[in-house]
C-alpha cells in the first residue's frame, strides 16, 4: 500500500491526514500509534507521552453507565476535567445511560471525551466526530484547541473545508502509484479570535483538492 512513503508533522495543534477512501489513512494512523508493527520502514516520534488512537466505530463496555466508565478510566490527575468536558460536549443528561442507549453522535462524543481525559502527547482522531452535526463539531474542535494548546492532534476527516479551516498542516495521502505519495499543505489553523478570510480558506481547499 505504501511505496517510498515519507512524511513529517511537528509541533502542537491540529494537523490533518486527508485523502480519498481506501488510500491507507487509517493504516498509516495505526502504524504511527504503534497498533500495527512489523512492516518495513520506521516511525520516529519525538514525544514524551503516549500516542493514542481513537476512531468513530469504537464501543464502550455495556455493563455500566457511561458516567461510571469515564470515572473509572480517567487518571486521578485528570478527574477534575470530567465535568468541564461533559458539560461542553452536551452530555450531562446521558451519564447514567448505557453506551448502547446513546445515539451515534453521542457515542462518538463520549468516546472522544474518554480519550481527552487520558495522559497523551498525540491524539489521533480517526473520524472521531462522525455523526456529529457541523456546528457542534466546530465548537468541539475549537474547545479542544483552547483546552490543550500544548498537545498534538492528527485529525482524519473527509471534509476538505473542515481540515482546511482548522488544521495547521494537512498531510494529503495519495495513491501509491503517484509520486510523491504525500503532499503537505498549510492550513488556516483557525482559532477563536483569529480572523479568517474566505478567499484564503478557498485557496487552501483548492490546494488540497489539487494535491490529491
Give the list of residues 6+ apart from residue 13 with CB closer than 8 angstroms, or none.
Answer: 145, 149, 152, 153, 167, 168, 189
Residue 192's SS3 state is: coil
Residue 61 near residue 99, CB atoms below 8 Å:
yes
**Model pLDDT, residue 41:** 66
H or E stretch including 183? strand 182-186
**Model pLDDT, residue 179:** 84
What pTM value is reported for the model? 0.90
**Model pLDDT, residue 204:** 98
Where does 13-60+120-211 sit in CATH, by number? 3.40.50.300
Using CA atoms, how far apart are residues 136 and 141, in angstroms rounded to an integer? 9
> What average pLDDT is seen over the chain?
90
Using CA atoms, how far apart are residues 212 and 210, in angstroms rounded to an integer? 5
pLDDT under 50: residue ranges of the chain: none
Q: Each residue of 91-119: b (16+ CB within 10 Å) or e?
A: beebbeeebeebeebbbbbbbbbbbbbee
Using CA atoms, how far apart are residues 84 and 87, in angstroms rounded to an integer? 5
Residue 202 near residue 193, CB atoms below 8 Å:
no
Half-sphere exposure of residue 80: CA atoms within 13 angstroms, side-chain side? 1
**Model pLDDT, residue 37:** 72
The 3-state secondary structure of 112-142, one letter per residue: HHHHHCCCCCEEEEECCCCCCCHHHHHHHHH
> Which parts of the chain fold into alpha helices (H)?
25-33, 66-73, 82-88, 104-116, 134-147, 160-166, 198-211
In Å, the largest CA–CA distance within the chain is 51
Instruction: Provide the grid cell at 78.
Output: 485528570
Amino acid at each position: 500500500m505504501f511505496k517510498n512513503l515519507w512524511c513529517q508533522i511537528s509541533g502542537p495543534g491540529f494537523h490533518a491526514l486527508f485523502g480519498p477512501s481506501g488510500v491507507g489513512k487509517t493504516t498509516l494512523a495505526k502504524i504511527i500509534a504503534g497498533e500495527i508493527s512489523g512492516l518495513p520502514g520506521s516511525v520516529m516520534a519525538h514525544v514524551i507521552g503516549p500516542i493514542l488512537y481513537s476512531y468513530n466505530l469504537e464501543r464502550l463496555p455495556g455493563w455500566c453507565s457511561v458516567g461510571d466508565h469515564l470515572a473509572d478510566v480517567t487518571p486521578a490527575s485528570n478527574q477534575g476535567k470530567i465535568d468541564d468536558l461533559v458539560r461542553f460536549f452536551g452530555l450531562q443528561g446521558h451519564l447514567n445511560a448505557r453506551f448502547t442507549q446513546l445515539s451515534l453522535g453521542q457515542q462518538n462524543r463520549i468516546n472522544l471525551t474518554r480519550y481527552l481525559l487520558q495522559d497523551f502527547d498525540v491524539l489521533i482522531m480517526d473520524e472521531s466526530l462522525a455523526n456529529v452535526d457541523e456546528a457542534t463539531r466546530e465548537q468541539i474542535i475549537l474547545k479542544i484547541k483552547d483546552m490543550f494548546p500544548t498537545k498534538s492532534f492528527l485529525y482524519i476527516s473527509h471534509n476538505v473545508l473542515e481540515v482546511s479551516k482548522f488544521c495547521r498542516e494537512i498531510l494529503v495521502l495519495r495513491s501509491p502509484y503517484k509520486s510523491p505519495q504525500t503532499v503537505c499543505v498549510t492550513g488556516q489553523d483557525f482559532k477563536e479570535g483569529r480572523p479568517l478570510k474566505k478567499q484564503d480558506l478557498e485557496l487552501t481547499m483548492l490546494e488540497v483538492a489539487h494535491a490529491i
